[in-house]
Amino acid sequence: MSILINPQTVANLVNQVFVSPLLTSLHLSTPTDPTWGRYLQHWSSSELALESDPDIQVSMYRVFIGSQGEPLEGETVQVRHEELDEARGRNWIFYKVWLSSKAQKTGRAAGSDLVMLHGYADYAGLLENFFTYEA
């Protein structure tokens, strides 16, 4: 079934792809969700597996970005819809920190970084099969 059959679907698509971005770029409108649904995207199975380990402590943050790309204030977040409303009209970077006390004690965490991409083409563990996690 083609999306062009349903006029409401076509109207929503035109609004999301053309009208809303144009009005936003002209500063005539502020989208209710500037992330277009990415902020509230479900976590990947890789993230859920990592975070289900009782040894792993998870913290989530966002840092607001100024008009020149400079970092402004940061805050702890819970990734709730209300946080979109609280930051309406602002730009930010969201990130998570996973901390394993066991790995820190054994020295296994020294120099380790885990990066999960979350953006236009890479979101919520799109590269899920690339990552492996062993408790």
Mean pLDDT of the chain, nearest integer? 77
Which pair of structure tokens corresponds to residue 90? 């602002």
C-alpha to C-alpha distance for 125 and 135, rounded to whole angstroms: 18
Identity at 41, one-letter amino acid code: Q
Q: Average of pLDDT values for 42-53?
A: 84
* Portion of the chain with pLDDT greater than 90, in percent: 13
Q: Average of pLDDT values for 40-50?
A: 82
pLDDT of residue 44: 78
In which residue are the tokens 């698509």 written?
Answer: 13
pLDDT-based confidence at residue 72 (cuts at 50, 70, 90): very high
pLDDT of residue 40: 83
pLDDT of residue 106: 78
66, pLDDT greater than 60: yes
pLDDT of residue 74: 92
User: Which pTM does this prediction carry?
Assistant: 0.64
Which pair of structure tokens corresponds to residue 99? 């901390």
